[in-house]
Amino acid sequence: MKRFLAVIGLIMTLLLVLFAAAEYSQISFVTAPTPWFEKNSPATALLAILLLSADIVIPVPSSVMMTVNGALFGIWLGALVSLLGGLGAALIGFSLGRWMTPLVQGWVSQQEWEQARRLLATWGGIGIIVTRPIPILAETMSIAAGTSLSCKEVLWASFWGLLPIALLYSISGATATDLKTSFASFFISLTMASVFWWIGKKYFKK
């Protein structure tokens, strides 16, 4: 598994470099996009979805964006916009992982590849959920899962991981609270995500 773990480390390193480059460039539209969100409109919602989708490779302040969505669109619509953006990021991550699969297979041994596939098949879904609130790890997990899991599995796990987070930040924005700065939001979202994932897997996943 050493070589596969090295691949994971390489993905994380590349993401860190991309994030650092974007931060260094000081592109305000990416690093501080909130001035662009001053009115409730379909165009604003689409822009929010696109930016959150791009968060897989650039450092969009997703927690701030989700809070702004709640302030602009209300709790439920704001959460939906955030959820769609997060799923867009998961889909891009999956696509990157699928594109990388032949490269990874050519670099690791067949035994390592089979071990990695079994590990991701068993724990990939919960891994996506658990890492969802954590920058860099969330993006890395989506990409890594794309090498072994199906698109449906990645989006399914991402949905349950994103849902509580999107709701929490949307509530924060809609009620003008400062929930996003509290450690409680992290643990609540993680607990809710785990419960939702368990329920979904038990009763809906075929």
For the chain, how many residues are written? 206
| Spatial separation of the C-alpha atoms in residues 171 and 165, rounded to whole Å | 10
Distance from first CA to last CA of the chain, Å, rounded? Answer: 29
Quote the mean pLDDT of the chain. Answer: 79
In the prediction, which pLDDT does 103 show? 84
Higher pLDDT, 166 or 28: 166
Tokens of 29: 């539209």
**Residue pointed to by tokens 């075929």:** 206
The total number of structural domains that make up the chain: 1
Average pLDDT over residues 106-134: 82
* Of 53 and 71, the one with more pLDDT: 53
Nearest to 64 by CA among 21, 25, 87, 31: 31
Residues spanned by the domain of 118 = 2-203
pLDDT recorded at residue 186: 56
Work out the average pLDDT over 136-161: 89
Place of tokens 């974007």: 22
Q: How many CB atoms lie within 10 A of CB 148?
A: 20
Nearest alpha-carbon partner for 94 in 130, 125, 48, 51: 125
Q: 4 pLDDT exceeds 80?
A: no
- Return the pLDDT at 121: 81
Residue 79 and residue 48 in contact, taking contact as beta carbons nearer than 8 Å: no
81-110 pLDDT, tens digit each: 999 999 999 999 999 999 988 888 888 778
